[in-house]
Structure 1
Amino acid sequence: MNRTPKIALEEHFCAPGFDAYSAPYTRALPAEFVAKLDARLTDFDDQRLAEMDAGNIEYVVLSQTMPGVQAEADRDTAVRRARENNEFLVGRVSRHPQRFGAFAHVAMQDPNAAAKELERTVVEHGFKGAMINGHTLGRYYEGGAFDVFWERAQALGVPIYLHPNAFSHAPALLEGMPVLQGAAWGWGVETAGHALRLLFGGVFDRFPRLTLLLGHMGEALPYQRWRIDSRFAAYPSGIKLARKPSEYIGSNILITTSGVCSAPALLGAIGELGAQAVLFSVDYPYESTAEACNFIEDAPLDDRTRAQVCHGNARRLFKLGSPEDLALLQF
């Protein structure tokens, strides 16, 4: 029985024309599976809401499925299409404002434009932050050129969700092993590494109020905190940080349960980070809404902690208020 109200944060859609960006990731999949996936990604009114109702998911924050404009080679096209994506989402969210929120799609090919689009969508349309689908054509975001974007996110007080992308060039270790290059392993490694580049690149020291969200139970980073501290203390490689690396993971870096329905993993993450740093998510439509909801209901948590993970932390982070307040949201 799904008795606990839930808010979910890694819940994908696909805007018209954006399936072309996803084609390199889906062409190896069975056609019937892709057709079902496409139907779920483009549905906003029927199956999506029915599954939310069945799992007692009150509210989801929608985001463009990967890779979106992170795979666009032309900068101006990326900026234009990101805005088009966001305007499409405004229209879809407006049909169910009490159930849907939105993460902006931004073109990191142009950090200034990305910062402006983030601000526009947050201020004009009430977007809840942005989801970035990993690197942009092999470029990561710890350098000073991206500070304008991180500064704007901090000033607006909205989180940035860093979602996986495939490696731009597969490491030799993964060559010839497509199964390891994708979601089963490689994407998580890439995203964890990206988050660590931001951390060791000093982004959280320059912007100490910045919040980054990582899915998939934190891409395994919660379980590496001690090891990272230990080896960084021994081999800092000339890098100086204001705090131990582990102290950023759980404060600046929060995690969601998307795509990981494992009670031991959940308990380990809570043990490492504290329940205040863990937020429920599904990873719709790539994972089962029913399985994710049943997992969190059955996890060996006390009722207070379960409520905190399922919806309390999200209400605090996104300033959503009480369940009654959600029914009054306008978009």
Structure 2
Amino acid sequence: MSGITTGVTDVHAHVLLPSLHAEVERRAPEGVAEAAALDLRRNGAESQAVSGPMVGARVPKLTSVAERLAAMDAQGVERQWVSASPNHFYPWAPEGLGVWIASEANRLIAEHVAQAPDRLTGLGLVPLQHPSRILECLDDAVLGRGLAGVEISSFAGDVELSDERLEPFWARAEELGAVVFLHPFGCSLDERLDRFYLANTVGQPAENAVALSHLIFAGVLDRHPGLKIVAAHGGGYLPFAIGRSDRAWRVRPEAQKCEHLPSTYLRKLWFDTVVHDPAALRQLVDVAGESQVVLGSDFPFDMGLDDPVAFVGEAGLPADVAQRILSGNAEALLETRVRA
């Protein structure tokens, strides 16, 4: 890709925070060791052996702003929304440590994007596993650090996104106009996905579908219609099998906790373009709407899009729709946020 199309925004790009990880390792070595064992069990030794060198080769792009900007220029991307690599979620962390991790991540991400504020927008973290402490971390990210919102996982411990304890979080995120970027970390299917890289290829789309279904069926989007939730990986399987959810809503009383057909809520969510198939991108635009799809790459990991701008072009969408995906929709998401 040569040159930059004005306004092209990649909403799905990651940063590594080595100093944070080192401090967590110092404070809670047993927790880190247990988490590593869980990762190995979930992913399998073969995938772990490949992933280590893959991430290692990408550390410069994940940590250096200069390397990041050079890669963006090569992709034709003007702006990135930078979020922590999901291995920084630490869902096992106890309350005090979990709050510190979120606050420190917010500080480090703010410092990273401040090196190129005209090119980078930051998303912070909250300790999803500790609902009673989320509001202070959300406020720290948005009001204290000037970040555009926060990144969350599909679940953390016993906390699903339908959990009533998260109601204050959704209300505050709506009030602030903050972006909530949903990016899974880990999959509850565990060892069933421990070979063939299924933990990623199947696990990530499954986790997205489960998490979004919790939000929809629990009525979270009815109670908080102004939420700005952006789902990574095109929302996983849900947009492509939403008819089954609609059928359940029609025939099963326990699936009728939301006010409308589940498919209608796809037009109240946003989805990135990391779907790897131009036909799937066209279908995503069809079911969610041309205003609800935003450019993403999963930068700079191997399961991301190497040339995200070209990928949108391959879908053969009308020029005005492609332009909205490349820039306009992301810009609109940030227009009404409260700034620090």
TM-score (norm 2): 0.85
Give the superposition deviation at 1:4.
Answer: 3.4
Contact 1:75 1:110 survives alignment (8 Å): yes
Q: Which moved more, 1:231-240 or 1:268-277?
A: 231-240
Contact 2:20 2:104 survives alignment (8 Å): no
- 2:107 aligns with 87
Q: What are the residue-to-residue correspondences of 1:167-316 with 2, within 5 Å?
A: 167-168=187-188, 170=190, 175=192, 177-179=194-196, 181-237=198-254, 239-251=256-268, 253-258=269-274, 260-287=275-302, 290-316=306-332
User: What do residues 117-173 of structure 1 show as CA deviations (whole Å, max 9, x unaligned)?
Assistant: 212321233211111123112431212111111111011112211101212452xxx
Contact 1:189 1:219 survives alignment (8 Å): yes
* Match 1:120 to one of 137, 140, 156: 140
- 2:16 aligns with 14
Q: Residue 38 and residue 236 in structure 1: after superposition, are their counterparts in 2 closer, same or farther (change >3 A)?
A: farther
* Match 1:33 to one of 54, 57, 68: 54
Contact 1:85 1:105 survives alignment (8 Å): yes
- 1:4 aligns with 5
Match of 2:230, SS state, is strand
Q: Residue 238 and residue 168 in structure 1: after superposition, are their counterparts in 2 closer, same or farther (change >3 A)?
A: closer
* Separation (CA, whole Å) in 1 of partners of 2:236 and 2:221: 18
Q: Residue 169 and residue 61 in structure 1: after superposition, are their counterparts in 2 closer, same or farther (change >3 A)?
A: same
Match of 2:201, SS state, is coil
User: What do residues 103-127 of structure 1 show as CA deviations (whole Å, max 9, x unaligned)?
Assistant: 1111123223221221232123321
Match of 1:71, SS state, is coil
Contact 1:70 1:135 survives alignment (8 Å): no
Contact 1:70 1:108 survives alignment (8 Å): no
User: What do residues 166-205 of structure 1 show as CA deviations (whole Å, max 9, x unaligned)?
Assistant: 12452xxx62743364111112102210110121122112
Alignment gaps of 5+ in structure 2: 26-31
Contact 2:83 2:151 survives alignment (8 Å): yes
* Separation (CA, whole Å) in 2 of partners of 1:282 and 1:98: 19
Contact 1:115 1:148 survives alignment (8 Å): yes
* Separation (CA, whole Å) in 2 of partners of 1:144 and 1:93: 33
Q: What are the residue-to-residue correspondences of 1:54-133 with 2, within 5 Å?
A: 54-133=74-153
* Separation (CA, whole Å) in 1 of partners of 2:149 and 2:328: 18
Contact 1:4 1:307 survives alignment (8 Å): no
* Separation (CA, whole Å) in 2 of partners of 1:119 and 1:68: 19
TM-score (norm 1): 0.87
* Separation (CA, whole Å) in 2 of partners of 1:129 and 1:250: 20
* Separation (CA, whole Å) in 2 of partners of 1:138 and 1:109: 7
RMSD between superposed Cα atoms in Å: 2.5
Match of 1:190, SS state, is helix
Contact 2:222 2:258 survives alignment (8 Å): yes
Contact 2:79 2:118 survives alignment (8 Å): yes
Contact 2:228 2:333 survives alignment (8 Å): no
Shift >4 Å, 4+ stretches = 19-23
Greater fraction of residues in helix: 2
* Separation (CA, whole Å) in 1 of partners of 2:253 and 2:295: 34
Give the superposition deviation at 1:250.
Answer: 1.8
The answer to whether residue 63 in structure 2 is matched with residue 42 in structure 1 is yes
Contact 1:180 1:186 survives alignment (8 Å): no
* Match 2:175 to one of 155, 163, 177: 155
Alignment gaps of 5+ in structure 1: 321-329
Q: Percent identity?
A: 25
* Separation (CA, whole Å) in 1 of partners of 2:101 and 2:232: 25
Q: How many residues align?
A: 317
- 1:165 aligns with 185
